[in-house]
Amino acid sequence: MKRTFLSSVALLFAAAAIAQPDRWQQRVKYQMTVDADVTNNRLSGKQKLAYTNNSPDTLDRVFYHLYWNAFQPNSMMDNRSRYLGQQLVNNRPDWDGRVRDRIQHLQPDEIGYQHVKWIKMNGVAQKTILHETILEVTLSKPILPRSTVNFELEFEAQVPVQIRRSGRDNAEGVRYSMSQWYPKICEYDYEGWHPTPYVAREFYGVWGDYDVSITIDKKYTIAATGYLQHPEKIGHGYEPAGSKVIAPAGDHLTWNFIAPNVHDFVWAADPEYIHLSKQVRDGMVLHAFYKISNEALRKQFEGYSARQKQQYGNNAENFIASYKEDWETVLDKAAKVLPFMDKTFGKYPYKQYSFIQGGDGGMEYPMATLLKGAGTDVVFHEWMHSWYQMMMGTNESEYAWMDEGFTSYAEDLVSANFYGRSTLEAYKAALQRNPSDKNLNDAVNIIPENNGDSYLSYFSLAKSGLEEPMTTHADHFNTNYAYSTAAYSKGALFMEQLGYVTGTDTRNRILLDYYNQWRFKHPNVNDFIRVAEKASGMKLDWYREYMVNTTKTIDYAIDSLWEEAGSTKIRIANKGKMPMPIDLQLTFKDGSREMHYVPMSLMFGSKPAEEQGLTRIVYPEWNWTNQSYTIETRHKLSEITLAEIDPSKRMADVNRKDNRLELKW
């Protein structure tokens, strides 16, 4: 077993090193032993941490996350949620509906806490200062550059009632969703320390190896990050097929999981978990862990809106049956799309992945996700986080859109592959069923083939007056609405629209280059843009500047057409604040088409033709300072039946009504 583990680690490091930029990053090696008291909902644990300072800096202090301290009345998370709930956005309180004011009402036996009883570095006790969810450790001796020190600590914790992500007794009745459960050292990178308080958003962690042993009541099944050691002594569905489980005597079991090259560790436990598994490729195994609590699911159904209930014929039993079917088929769905995911985004490198019922919706972790239900879209979204966070590891506080946005973009493509139809095709099918639905009709006319929902969401935000730049720290947005739309929708649009700028094939190559060069490396937006520039041969810093650093919008229009000396001239106006390259397609009476392509001056390049066999005229660049540009066709004006800017609709033009001019002669 040890040889297999070491080989896996070596392979992961070798893969990560191929064609990767040289950027230092810290390294950790955790060894933890934990006792779980399921009667009192308490944890007690010991942690050893080998911390390697690969930076050129001398460190005189370190910081740890103590996430569960957020689940106490008047915590930063509590105060922030209640404050946002006082604001109305679209006539609704702007708080996270999962948190609301629930923390304020927690009783002493319901709160969460993590107490570090003592901490030593190289055997010497260290002084600490507690800042709610951050523990500051003032070091008795600094950590020198390129050196390793050993921390030891003992901690105790109380599992909170499930409020946000982690906790006990969630809406489906799962006993324990154990995320953010241990003292976790903060990330130190080229920007310095990142002791980010736990207020609402996502996470940033140090890559390393985890060796975690959990002792718990023998009736409980554990699902976790990593590879279970000695499954023949554990059972619970982990044992090899046909083998006999030889469990140790007593009322408790100790589960040992090894997880190489990850930046976090999650586990969940319940005495009624159903455990399914499925081997896919290269010895990789998919797992599902779930339970069906009819009482909890009926209660959940009663909380649904009338429209949601109608989807199940206003019958709770139909909802329960559908919920159960989702979990029974989740592994088959995952296995079906895995080849597409490997090919499109890069090969998934670990030997297992687990879909775990728990938490409060969907939350990603290394080799696992916590899911409130196993609906197809949320399953694909959370699994794609294995690429755009678990392997890339961007600082989600600073680049939430590179995590959630890229994942949302990928989810849409994976769903299209699974269902065999794009977002646009799904909208058109819905419109056929509901031809009088104005919203569907409007949507069909303004969204691209893929990621249409993200475009619609972004357009609403851009016109709301509430948009903030994507450079805003994830916890510091003025509204939850602005954060979620920027992170998920505009982030997905960023990637889909990049295909318009560089060409779809080039954008697809960018994604694979990004995976090959930056996995396990904590890339930032500049790193991604440089990958895109090298693959496309264009300058793209302007795209980053406008899309990420500003809230400026795109608005082009067909200004006028006229005939001159037997040819037709068409003037395009830039009415917006963000410049873009322009595709203008002309359609003629005989059904033929021409594509007129105008590069934008800041690109210093142009995209290749995307449609074979289509006549394409490439123009000199459009200087971004100019408000208009005129193109020309040899066809007479009377021969033109349609002129349209960006017929693919990938350019996020906030007013598409003046992009299309139909001429009826």
Domain layout of the chain by residue ranges:
24-71+106-386, 406-549, 556-662
Other Cβ atoms closer than 10 A to 653: 24
Q: Which residue has the higher pLDDT, 243 or 558?
A: 558
HEC letters along 107-119: CCCCCCEEEEEEE
Pairwise CA distance, residues 36 & 252, whole Å: 10
- The predicted-structure confidence for 322-379, as pLDDT tens digits, reads as follows 999 999 999 999 999 999 999 999 999 999 999 999 999 999 999 999 999 999 999 9
* 82 vs 77: CA distance, rounded Å: 9
How much is the pTM? 0.95
What is the per-residue pLDDT across 210-230, written as a single tens digit (0 to 9) for each? 999 999 999 999 999 999 999
Q: Which amino acid, one-letter code, is at 324?
A: K
What radius of gyration do the chain's Cα atoms show? 27
Number of H helices, E strands in the chain: 16, 33
d(CA 355, CA 229): 19
Q: What's the pLDDT score for residue 202?
A: 81
Residue 632 β-bridge partners: 569
Q: What is the mean pLDDT of the segment spanning 9-29?
A: 66
**pLDDT over 80 at 599, yes or no:** yes
Q: Residue 223: is it exposed, middle or buried by C-beta count within 10 angstroms (0-12/13-18/19+)?
A: buried
pLDDT band at 188 (very low <50, low <70, confident <90, very high): very high
Q: What is the pLDDT of residue 4?
A: 39
Reduce the DSSP state of residue 223 to 3 states and report it: strand
Is a pLDDT exceeding 60 seen at residue 12?
no
- Supply the CATH classification number for the domain 24-71+106-386: 2.60.40.1730
Percent of the chain exceeding pLDDT 90 equals 94
**pLDDT, tens only, 498-529:** 999 999 999 999 999 999 999 999 999 999 99
- Tell me the C-alpha distance between 398 and 373, whole Å: 29
pLDDT at 20: 55
Coil, helix or strand for 12?
helix
Q: What is the mean predicted confidence (pLDDT) over 84-109?
A: 96
Q: Is the model's pLDDT at 11 over the cut of 60?
A: no
Binning pLDDT at 50, 70 and 90, where does residue 5 land?
very low
Closest alpha carbon to 189 in 523, 526, 531, 544: 523
What's the chain's average pLDDT?
95
Give the residue-averaged pLDDT of 115-126.
Answer: 98
* Region of poorest pLDDT, from 239-243, 418-422, 646-650: 239-243
User: Which tokens sit at 426?
Assistant: 């799904």
- Looking at the predicted structure, is the pLDDT value of residue 541 above 70? yes
* Residue 648, strand partner residues: none
- DSSP letters for 506-546: HHHHHHHHHHHHHTTS---HHHHHHHHHHHHTS--HHHHHH
Q: CA–CA distance from 662 to each of 70, 401, 567, 587 (Å)?
A: 58, 37, 18, 9
pLDDT tens by residue, 127-171: 999 999 999 999 999 999 999 999 999 999 999 999 999 999 999
DSSP state of 282: T
CB count within 10 Å of CB 635 equals 18
pLDDT in tens, 485-497: 999 999 999 999 9
Taking the CA atoms of residue 192, residue 197, residue 201 and residue 204 in that order, the dihedral angle to the nearest 10 degrees is: 30
Share of the chain above pLDDT 70, in %: 97
